[in-house]
């Protein structure tokens, strides 16, 4: 029912949900219900109002986001695809100008800056200069998109990390548009889009190819979700931080099992969790596997909106709308959940996670013993650099740099350490990469900048940097020792991901930690130390200094937060958020409704997705005589499939770029080259830590051709199979595709010729991305695996339709089994029939009247 909501002098139309929503319906599902009502999905409304928390296979709902959210390394290939769509629609006789986002699409450039320069006052300026030198071509392309596509806005480099910018400025919570008010539903091309859940905004990460679809007006079809309720009670002990809390929650929920489910926090304990802590928790939803990690709107939400400079008019709308629609958090309200998990905050202790997965939490007191167990089989070394030495200590990532309490704690610990005469060890690369310019404003205001700099934590840039793998090279002497003596050094970072090969190719073990612990480990210089009992070092007075001696009290941290941070800082920083600096303004903007591709470009190439595309889809053939490209184990991440970090010169991608005349210093990262499919194909399954069971004993992007013994790069094998028109499959274990919502982890295999993946289980986003690229996701029978079935990966595979049900018959040599087809909704089946989302959407555009495809210019 459409009704009117009066807020002060303003009046808004709203789609009232109170008459339909059961009182016990979770808050996150109430937002989903409003979305269905507003878009006229009456049958789905009925299904949702009857939700009882139990799984309903085959029941799907269509979600229409209010906006799409992108970053540059996923945004550039998304824009490449949109530009290619314009070419394709022109070639098929249509108007290329019809390809435009129909909802606001905001892109933040935050993934390209690399920590090349550090430990000096000029670090940020030098890194920005290098960034523009490397990426000017990509940035001009983004400006072309902003100039020529309606509803497409770009936040230029040097502003901050997308999720911190989202929470601090872009998020609406409630959107007001053309006299209508409705919830802000944000879907982004980065898995940590969930950070905005802490602000009461429903949203999560999707693949870039799904983002293109929703930007072009398609709904996102999702199975009707289960919702796991997390009830918090108690209070954090002194010394425990929000980082320790989120690592505890990650361990707890990953063990409980929340993949593909909504997680919602409620109950009396929520009232005591600050908005910044909520955002830190919500940010890590991909690490514990849930679709979202939702915190309902309450007084703390409003306080934060005022604190970050939102207008009183907008704050009033958020409050009135939430209360009118039953979205306001009532701690006494009885909410029905699929399952409930309780967490006593009082059990949280100082923690790290590592050395390879964010859910592998370690109590700080157990970190030394755990490291020694991990390193017990490593050979001894005779070098100044030893196993376990900290090669990188990075205050990085929106996860923690958005949280003033942990950032101030790091600054105060640095101040206390410097006062005692402590310094960082000389082999540690120390970097400070906050997600917002507000951080350095309050560091300066609190007088903490100089202490951090004395420990080497100079500002290196505003961007993801080390967290995304853009850590830059190690200190040269350290890198040389690591390579010469095969030393296993470590990184300690305040990020959210520590997968194999992600942070730096020379660093084998990576630990997530709070910002103050990052500072502490920079001083200690090694993981082979118990920071709870052994001294960090010796002070200038000759006395040992322990971590407890310099750790700031909660009251001290809170006093600095309250006295040093003001709403004016946020309004000043974000006043010109879309303007950019002189470098950005000076970039030449290409013109024209279609983009002029440069066939010599090493960054931007027209992709082949639409080559020879027909106006209607043909029948998808069954797979015959397929071969296994790679056979993989459990917990294969999108970083394993599609690395984001530095491109080694000796790899197929490195050699390709070198042959194009790219200088070694300009090779850049895989993340920055995602607009060039030739690079990304060569980088597929090229992670330096990948272990392919077809070539046991090797590490990296290697495989074998069927019937041959030679070990060759995966890319070379795929090209050889292409010559013989051999379709390819991938075998994998549990949780295939965990980690980032990286569409190239599906695009790359598709371009290499992979037609199907058979895994024991999938992470949500990656499975959707496979479907989006026309790759068939299959699942082994319950309790079975490649090994239990006796599959070696050397067999010939036939995959044929089963006589009944959503299954196929797989014949591998003499082995036969039935695999479940993971096309989870009717929409996904349609995408697969068309060969992926992009051909489906393009055919929809061709079949739609021109006036229906136009949206308002932003």
> How far is it, in rounded angstroms, from Cα 776 to Cα 19?
41
Selected residue with higher pLDDT from 806 and 659: 659
Summarize pLDDT for 350-361 with one digit per residue, the tens: 999 999 999 999
Looking at residue 855, its pLDDT comes to: 39
Angstrom CA distances, 161 to 16, 354, 400, 520, 560, stand at 35, 24, 11, 24, 24
- Residue-wise pLDDT for 810-854, tens only, equals 999 999 999 999 998 888 999 999 999 889 988 888 887 554 443
Over residues 54-82, mean pLDDT: 91
User: How far apart are alpha carbons 831 and 818 in whole angstroms?
Assistant: 23
Question: How many Cβ atoms from other residues are within 10 Å of residue 269's Cβ?
Answer: 19
352-574 has which fold? Aconitase; domain 3 (3.30.499)
Task: Check: CB of residue 712 under 8 Å from CB of residue 174.
Answer: no
pLDDT attached to residue 686? 95
805 pLDDT band (50/70/90 cuts)?
low
pLDDT tens figures, 523-544: 999 999 999 999 999 999 999 9
For residue 762, list its beta bridge partners.
736
Q: How does pLDDT run across 647-658, given as a tens digit for each residue?
A: 999 999 999 999
| Residue pointed to by tokens 């030394």 | 368
List pLDDT tens digits, range 191-213. Answer: 999 999 999 999 999 988 889 88
Instruction: Inform me whether the pLDDT recorded for 293 exceeds 50.
Output: yes
pLDDT digits (tens, 9 = 90+) for 384-432: 999 999 999 999 999 999 999 999 999 999 999 999 999 999 999 999 9
67-347 and 352-574 in the same fold: yes
Higher-scoring residue by pLDDT: 716, 618:
716
Mean pLDDT over 678-700 rounds to 95
User: What pTM, to 2 d.p., does this model score?
Assistant: 0.87
* Residues whose CB falls within 8 Å of the CB of residue 642, separated by 6 or more in sequence, listed in order: 670, 680, 683, 684, 742, 744, 745, 748
Q: How far apart are alpha carbons 397 and 70 in whole angstroms?
A: 16
The reported pLDDT for the residue numbered 851 is 44
112 within 8 A of 131, measured Cβ to Cβ = yes
Provide the pLDDT for residue 825.
86
168 — pLDDT class (breaks 50, 70, 90): very high
pLDDT tops 60 at residue 791 = yes
Give the strand order in the sheet containing 490-493: 361-363, 351-353, 509-512, 490-493, 390-396, 429-433
What is the mean predicted confidence (pLDDT) over 655-681? 92
Which is more confidently placed, 753 or 600?
753
Above 50 in pLDDT, residue 462? yes
Residue 427 or residue 259, greater confidence = 427
pLDDT band at 324 (very low <50, low <70, confident <90, very high): very high
Rounded CA Rg of the chain: 26
Q: CA 453, CA 472: separation in Å to the nearest integer?
A: 19
* 366-380 burial: b if 16+ Cβ within 10 Å, else e: bbbebbeebbeeeee
- For domain 67-347, the question of CATH label 3.40.1380.10 is answered with no
Instruction: Please name which of 767, 843, 768 lies closest in space to residue 609, comparing C-alpha atoms.
Output: 843
Highest mean pLDDT among 55-59, 472-476, 496-500: 472-476
Tell me the C-alpha to C-alpha distance, in Å, between residue 819 and each of 566, 647, 778, 816.
57, 36, 6, 10
CA-closest candidate to residue 240, choices 364, 417, 361, 390:
364
Residue 665 pLDDT grade (very low, low, confident, very high; cuts 50, 70, 90): confident
Q: Is the pLDDT of residue 856 over 70?
A: no
Mean pLDDT across the stretch 697-725? 96
**Residue boundaries of the structural domains of the chain:** 67-347, 352-574, 625-640+691-845, 643-683
Tell me what the mean pLDDT of segment 266-292 comes to.
94
In the DSSP assignment, the letter for residue 167 is I
Which CATH number applies to 625-640+691-845: 3.20.19.10, 2.60.40.2140, 3.40.50.2300, 3.30.70.141?
Answer: 3.20.19.10
User: First vs last Cα of the chain: how many Å apart?
Assistant: 29
β-strand pairing of 728-731 with 361-363: unpaired
The total of other beta-carbon atoms located within 10 Å of residue 820's CB is 17
Mean of the pLDDT values across residues 339-354? 96
- What is the pLDDT confidence band of residue 804, given thresholds at 50, 70 and 90? low
pLDDT of residue 857: 31
Angle among Cα 724, 729, 732 to the nearest 5 degrees reads: 150
Question: Are 67 and 103 within 8 A, CB to CB?
Answer: yes
Q: Confidence class of residue 28 from pLDDT cuts 50, 70 and 90?
A: very high
Q: How confident is the model at residue 858 (pLDDT cuts 50, 70, 90)?
A: very low
């Amino acid at each position: 029912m459409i009704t009117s909501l009066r807020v002060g002098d303003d009046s808004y139309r709203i789609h009232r949900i109170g008459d339909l929503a059961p009182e016990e319906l979770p808050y996150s599902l109430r937002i989903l219900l409003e979305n269905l009502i507003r878009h006229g999905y009456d049958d789905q409304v009925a299904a949702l109002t009857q939700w009882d928390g139990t799984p309903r296979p085959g029941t799907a709902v269509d979600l229409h986001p209010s906006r799409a959210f992108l970053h540059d390394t996923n945004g550039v290939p998304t824009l490449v695809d949109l530009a290619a769509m314009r070419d394709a629609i022109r070639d098929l006789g249509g108007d290329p100008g019809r390809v435009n986002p129909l909802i606001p699409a905001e892109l933040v450039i935050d993934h390209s800056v690399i920590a090349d320069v550090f430990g000096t006052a000029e670090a940020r300026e030098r890194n920005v200069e290098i960034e523009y030198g490397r990426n000017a071509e990509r940035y001009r392309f983004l400006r072309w998109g902003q100039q020529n596509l309606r509803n497409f806005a770009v936040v230029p480099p040097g502003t901050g990390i997308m999720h911190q910018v989202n929470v601090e400025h872009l998020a609406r919570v409630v959107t007001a548009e053309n006299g209508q008010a409705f919830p802000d539903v944000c879907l982004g091309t980065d898995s940590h889009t969930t950070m905005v859940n802490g602000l009461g905004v429903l949203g999560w990460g999707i693949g870039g190819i799904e983002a293109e679809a929703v930007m072009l007006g398609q709904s996102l079809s999702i199975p009707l979700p289960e919702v796991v309720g997390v009830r918090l009670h108690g209070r954090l002990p002194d010394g425990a931080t929000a980082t320790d809390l989120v690592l505890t929650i990650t361990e707890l929920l990953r063990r409980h099992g929340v993949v593909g489910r909504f997680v919602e926090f409620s109950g009396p304990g929520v009232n005591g969790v600050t908005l910044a802590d909520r955002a830190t928790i919500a940010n890590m939803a991909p690490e514990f596997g849930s679709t979202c990690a939702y915190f309902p709107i309450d007084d703390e939400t409003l306080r934060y909106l005022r604190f970050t400079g939102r207008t009183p008019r907008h704050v009033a709308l958020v409050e009135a709308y939430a209360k009118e629609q039953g979205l306001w958090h009532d701690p006494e309200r009885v909410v029905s959940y699929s399952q409930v998990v309780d967490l006593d905050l009082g059990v949280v202790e100082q923690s790290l996670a590592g050395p390879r997965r964010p859910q592998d939490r370690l109590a700080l007191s157990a970190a030394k013993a755990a490291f020694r167990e991990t390193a017990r089989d490593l050979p001894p070394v005779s070098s100044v650099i030893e196993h376990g030495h900290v090669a990188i200590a990075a205050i990085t990532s929106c996860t923690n740099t958005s949280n003033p309490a942990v950032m101030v704690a790091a600054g105060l610990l640095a101040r206390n350490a410097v006062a005692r005469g402590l310094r960082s060890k000389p082999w540690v690369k120390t970097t400070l990469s906050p997600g917002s310019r507000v951080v350095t404003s309050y560091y300066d205001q609190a007088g903490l900048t100089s202490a951090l700099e004395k420990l080497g934590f100079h500002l290196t840039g505003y961007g993801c940097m080390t967290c995304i793998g853009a850590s830059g090279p190690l200190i040269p002497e350290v890198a040389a020792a690591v390579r010469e003596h095969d030393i296993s050094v470590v990184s300690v970072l305040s990020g959210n991901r520590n997968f194999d090969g992600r942070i730096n190719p020379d660093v084998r073990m990576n630990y997530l930690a709070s910002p103050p612990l990052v500072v502490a480990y920079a001083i200690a210089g090694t993981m082979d130390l118990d920071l709870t009992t052994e001294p960090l070092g010796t002070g200038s007075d000759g006395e040992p200094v322990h971590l407890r001696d310099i750790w700031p009290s909660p009251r001290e941290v809170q006093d600095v937060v309250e006295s040093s941070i003001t709403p004016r800082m946020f309004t000043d920083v974000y006043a010109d958020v879309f303007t950019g600096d002189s470098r950005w303004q000076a970039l030449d903007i290409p013109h024209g409704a279609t983009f002029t591709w440069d066939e010599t470009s090493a960054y931007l190439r027209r992709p082949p997705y639409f080559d020879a595309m027909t106006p209607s889809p043909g029948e998808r053939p069954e797979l015959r005589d397929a071969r296994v490209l790679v056979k993989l184990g459990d917990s294969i991440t999108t970083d394993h499939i599609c690395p984001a970090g530095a491109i080694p010169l000796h790899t197929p991608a490195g050699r390709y770029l070198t042959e194009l005349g790219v200088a070694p210093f300009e090779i850049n990262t895989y993340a920055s080259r995602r607009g060039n499919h030739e690079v990304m194909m060569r980088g597929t399954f090229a992670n330096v830590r990948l272990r392919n069971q077809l070539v046991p004993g090797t590490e990296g992007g290697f495989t074998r051709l069927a019937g041959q013994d030679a070990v060759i790069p995966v890319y070379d094998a795929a090209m050889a199979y292409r010559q013989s028109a051999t379709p390819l499959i991938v075998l994998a274990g549990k949780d295939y595709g965990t980690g980032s919502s990286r569409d190239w982890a599906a695009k790359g295999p598709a371009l290499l010729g992979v037609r199907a993946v058979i895994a024991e289980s999938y992470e949500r986003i990656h499975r959707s991305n496979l479907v989006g690229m026309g790759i068939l996701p299959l699942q082994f029978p319950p309790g079975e695996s490649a090994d239990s079935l006796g599959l070696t990966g050397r067999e010939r595979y036939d995959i044929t339709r089963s006589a009944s049900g959503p299954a196929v018959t797989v014949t591998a040599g003499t082995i036969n089994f039935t695999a479940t087809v993971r096309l989870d909704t009717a929409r996904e089946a349609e995408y697969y029939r068309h060969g992926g989302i992009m051909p489906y959407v393009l055919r929809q555009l061709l079949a739609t009247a021109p006036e229906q495809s136009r949206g308002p210019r932003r």
